[in-house]
């Protein structure tokens, strides 16, 4: 759990005071990641660390391209010296691929790969079940909230609209894996 403590302390230092809502959201994403530990086995700690750090790209110190997933992953890699797999999970979470395409940042995103589908599914599930203020939320409601918050002219709106079917499929895959593991354990 040293990796998780390190990621928690770093994320808290970047988000808690300047972006308290992002910090509250990140803490819920982290809590959701912990609930997936039985599904992820040896990658549970890695996902928990990525979950608490997934939004550090919003912090002033990390902003570079304006795409928070890429910016957070680059900060973790270049400033904090994080494990490449951790950086990749942060880089590819939720609608990152669609946003990068909209912004012409495909090459920047790809430098942080490869994406690991099972871990990208898991971080996306955690992100979409966590509201902006840290409450549990239905993924469909979370996506509707994002669309409403950004509006049709914003890159996030366009990316999330395009990504929605795949995002919901990721949530479904995680739920299926969780149910299968729970059935094996009972």
pLDDT at 35 over 90: yes
For 74-88, the pLDDT digits (tens) are 999 999 999 999 999
pLDDT at 1: 66
Residue spans of beta strands (DSSP E) within the chain: none
Instruction: Give me the pLDDT at residue 118, please.
Output: 97
Residue 185: the pLDDT is: 84
Inform me whether the pLDDT recorded for 73 exceeds 90: yes
Report pTM. Answer: 0.96
DSSP-assigned letters across all residues of the chain: -HHHHHHHHHHHHHHTTT-HHHHHHHHHHHHHHHHTHHHHGGGHHHHHHHHHHTTGGGSTTT-SSS-HHHHHHHIIIIIS---HHHHHHHHHSTTHHHHHHHHT-HHHHHTT----HHHHHHHHHHHHTB-TTS-B--HHHHHHHHHHHH-TTSHHHHHHHHHHHHHHHHHHHHHHHHHHHHHHH-
Domain ranges of the chain: 2-185
pLDDT at 33 over 90: yes
User: Average pLDDT for residues 174-186, to the nearest whole number?
Assistant: 92
The 10s digit of each residue's pLDDT in 104-135 is 999 999 999 999 999 999 999 999 999 999 99
């Amino acid at each position: 759990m040293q990796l998780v403590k390190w990621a928690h302390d770093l994320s808290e230092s970047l988000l808690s005071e300047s972006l308290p809502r992002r910090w509250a959201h990140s803490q819920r994403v982290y809590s959701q990641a912990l609930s997936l530990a039985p599904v992820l086995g040896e990658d549970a700690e890695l996902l928990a660390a990525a979950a608490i750090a997934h939004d550090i790209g919003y912090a002033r110190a990390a902003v570079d391209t304006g795409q928070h997933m890429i910016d957070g992953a680059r900060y973790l890699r270049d400033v904090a010296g994080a494990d490449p797999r951790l950086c990749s999970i942060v880089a590819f979470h939720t609608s990152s691929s669609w946003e990068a395409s909209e912004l012409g940042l495909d090459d920047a995103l790809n430098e942080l790969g490869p994406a690991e589908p099972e871990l990208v599914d898991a971080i996306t599930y955690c992100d979409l079940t966590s509201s902006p203020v840290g409450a549990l939320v239905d993924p469909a409601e979370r996506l509707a909230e994002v669309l409403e918050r950004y509006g049709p002219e914003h890159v996030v709106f366009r990316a999330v609209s395009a990504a929605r079917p795949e995002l919901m499929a990721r949530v479904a895959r995680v739920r299926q894996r969780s149910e299968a593991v729970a059935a094996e354990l009972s």
